[in-house]
Structure 1
C-alpha cells in the first residue's frame, strides 16, 4: 500500500536514530549512529546521512509518504533549523533542507525531542486518552512536551514544553543554555552523578559513575547517592508543579534513563510534589513513568509525520 509508512529521525546528544514506522506505531526498520556532538558540523551531517542511507535502501522505502524529525533543541520549525544545547557544533543548522534533499523532497515535519516524546506517549503510552499532559525525558538533558485539549502543542517553533530550561534556582549555576539554575543543571543524569561525586559518593566495584550507578547505590542505602536523587526530585517537582499551575495538566509522564531509577526517583518526586502543587486544581496531579521506551522519540516524530499524509495518530 503506497504511502502507508512514515520515516522518523530522533536526533539526541548521544545517538542519531532512524526508523520506518507503520500506522500502529510499530518500527519496521531501525538504525542508529553515535552522535559526534563535539566533532564538527560535517561529522554530524555525515551521521544523519548514514542513517538515512540505510532507511532509503530498504524495500519498504517506496511506501514512505512523509518524514518526521524529533531533535534535541531548541529547534526552529519555521526556519527548519536546529541549535541543540548539547550539540555545540550545530547552530542554526538547516536540518530540514538537508533531510528533504536526501529523501527526495517528501513532506517533512520538525519538532523538539520533548514534544516528540509527548506525541509518542499520547499516541501509544501512558498519556493515551488524556486531554492535558506534560511528558518529560530526563536523561543526558531534560526536555518535555505538552498535550493540551487532546493534541500535541509544539508551539510556533516546535519547542513548547521545554521544561528542562525552566529556572528552579534563581541563584543557581550557569546552564549551557545561558540561563541560571535550570532544571537540567540539577536533574539531568549527568548532573545527578556529578553532585553525588562531589558530595562524597564513590562508585562501586563496577566503577559505574553514571546516574544508574548512583541509583544503585541509593537503593543500597548510600546517603550521598540518595541525596543526589532527592535533590533532582525536588527540582523536577518544582518545575512540574509550575507547569501544572500554568496550563492545568492532569498527568506528568516521565521517561528517559534517569526514570529507570524507579522508586529511587519517583518516591521522593511524589513527596516533593505535595510541597509545590498546593493550589486546589493541581493537588490531584498524577505522576507516571513513560511506557514507550527508548524509541519514544522515533514514535513521536512518526506521529507528527502521519499528519502530513492525512493520517493522524489514532
Structure 2
C-alpha cells in the first residue's frame, strides 16, 4: 500500500512539473505557443500536451487564441495567458509609506494604491488598505507578496531596524485580512528579482547591491535568489570596511560600517528619505561634498571587491535609488575597483534598470511562488487604476 501511495505521489509530482513547463512556454511565447509546440519542446506526447493544456485552461491560467500560421497542414490553435481572472497582490512596505498593486497574469497592473503614514499610524493604515483591497479583489487574488526591509524567512519578519520589527508573524496577520496566502520577501532580494524580469537570459551568478537609506546585497544564480541557510545572505550594511579617523558612526552604534559611508543617507545627509520626490532630492544632490561621495564609493568598492573575489560574479548591479547619484558615483566605484587582485577577474559594475515598476520584484516573486513561472521582459507593464 505504501509503495502504491509513493507511486501516486511521484506521478503527481511529475504532472506538476510538466504543468509548470507547459505554462512557462505559454508565458514565454504568449499568442504564439501551441499544443504541438509544447509537445515538441518538452518531449511529451501530443495527447499528454493536450491534457496539460486542458488542465491549464480549466484552472483559468491559459486561454485559446487564434489560428497559428500554417506549416502545410491543419493550422493549430494558439495559446495565451488568461488575464481575465487571477490577480497577484504585491505590496512594498517601507518605513513611511506603502505601495500596493494588483497585477494580472499577463503582467498588466490593474490597480495601484499608495498610502503614507507615521510609525504610530502605520499598522492601522496598512490594515485599512488591505481591507479595502480584499473587499474588492479578494475572490480573484491568487497569492500576495510583501516586500520589506530586513531579514525574513518568508513568514516572519525576523528583524527589521527600519520598520522596528523583530520576530513579527506578519504573513499570518495579513492573511487574516486578505484571505489568501501571503509570502514575505526582503526588499533587496525583490529588487534583484526585478532585474531578472528585464532580461531574456538568466544564466550565471550575479551580485546585486542596494543603496538607499540602508545598504544590502543579494546573489542570484540563474535568475533565482540564493538566500543562505538562515535567510540572511546579503546583510552587508553593518560590515566594517572603514577604519581609523575616517570611520563614521553608524546608527547601529559601531564605527566604519559600509552603511555609515555608502548609504544615500550618509552621502546626501540625514534629510534624505527614499520617499522624497525628484524636486525634494535635487537640493540634497546639489550640496553633496565630493569627498563624501568619493569615500562612499571607496567603502562600497571594498565590499564589492571582497564579495566579488569570493563569488566570481558575471556582473555587479547597483540598485535602489542610487541611480540619482549619477555617473560620477558609478565611475568612482569603478575607479576604486580598477586594481586587479591577483587571481581575480575584473568586475563589471552598472546601475540597475529603471524601466520596471517599484513592485516588479514582489509581483514576480508572487508569480513564481504561486505558479513556478517567470514573466518575459516587457510583460510587466504599468496601466494601473490608481486609488
Between Structure 1 and Structure 2, whose CA radius of gyration is higher? 2
Structure 1 residue corresponding to 2:148, chosen from 71, 93, 101 = 71
For residue 135 of structure 1, give the secondary structure of its aligned residue in structure 2. Answer: strand
Aligned-CA RMSD value: 2.8
Residue 299, structure 1, aligned to residue 360, structure 2: yes
Q: d(CA) in 1 for partners of 2:161 and 2:88?
A: 27
When residues 167 and 54 of structure 1 are mapped into structure 2, their CA distance, relative to the original with a 3 A threshold, is: farther
Flag the structure with more relative contact order, 1 or 2, with Cα contacts below 8 A and sequence separation at least 6: 1
When residues 185 and 25 of structure 1 are mapped into structure 2, their CA distance, relative to the original with a 3 A threshold, is: farther
For residue 316 of structure 2, give the secondary structure of its aligned residue in structure 1. Answer: strand
Aligned to 1:231: 295
Aligned to 1:44: 122
* Equivalent residues of 2:248, 2:261 under 8 A apart: no
Residue 84, structure 1, aligned to residue 160, structure 2: yes
How far the C-alpha of 1:263 sits from its partner, in A, is 0.9
Q: d(CA) in 1 for partners of 2:186 and 2:123?
A: 18
Aligned to 1:278: 341
Cα deviation code 1:196-236 (max 9, x no counterpart):
9xxxxxxxxxx96x5x4343356xxxxxx222211111111
Pairs within 5 Å for 1:213-292: 213-217=283-287, 225-275=289-339, 278-283=341-346, 285-292=347-354
* Equivalent residues of 2:207, 2:315 under 8 A apart: yes
Aligned to 1:222: none
| Structure 1 residues without counterparts, runs of 5 or longer | 197-206, 219-224
When residues 279 and 108 of structure 1 are mapped into structure 2, their CA distance, relative to the original with a 3 A threshold, is: farther
How far the C-alpha of 1:282 sits from its partner, in A, is 3.1
How far the C-alpha of 1:307 sits from its partner, in A, is 2.4
Residue 124, structure 1, aligned to residue 206, structure 2: no
How far the C-alpha of 1:161 sits from its partner, in A, is 1.7
Structure 2 residue corresponding to 1:7, chosen from 89, 95, 104 = 89
* Equivalent residues of 1:85, 1:176 under 8 A apart: no
TM-score, structure 2 normalization = 0.65
Cα deviation code 1:229-249 (max 9, x no counterpart):
111111111111122112221
* Equivalent residues of 1:132, 1:147 under 8 A apart: yes
For residue 139 of structure 2, give the secondary structure of its aligned residue in structure 1. Answer: helix
Corresponding residue pairs, total: 284
| Structure 2 residues without counterparts, runs of 5 or longer | 1-59, 62-84, 272-278, 376-387
* Equivalent residues of 2:98, 2:115 under 8 A apart: yes
For residue 120 of structure 1, give the secondary structure of its aligned residue in structure 2. Answer: helix
When residues 107 and 87 of structure 1 are mapped into structure 2, their CA distance, relative to the original with a 3 A threshold, is: closer
Aligned to 1:107: 181
When residues 168 and 64 of structure 1 are mapped into structure 2, their CA distance, relative to the original with a 3 A threshold, is: same
For residue 160 of structure 1, give the secondary structure of its aligned residue in structure 2. Answer: coil
When residues 170 and 23 of structure 1 are mapped into structure 2, their CA distance, relative to the original with a 3 A threshold, is: farther
Pairs within 5 Å for 1:93-242: 93-104=168-179, 106-124=180-198, 129-170=202-243, 172-194=247-269, 212-217=282-287, 225-242=289-306
Q: d(CA) in 2 for partners of 1:63 and 1:214?
A: 43
When residues 270 and 23 of structure 1 are mapped into structure 2, their CA distance, relative to the original with a 3 A threshold, is: farther
* Equivalent residues of 2:172, 2:182 under 8 A apart: no
Q: d(CA) in 2 for partners of 1:115 and 1:143?
A: 9
How far the C-alpha of 1:24 sits from its partner, in A, is 4.9
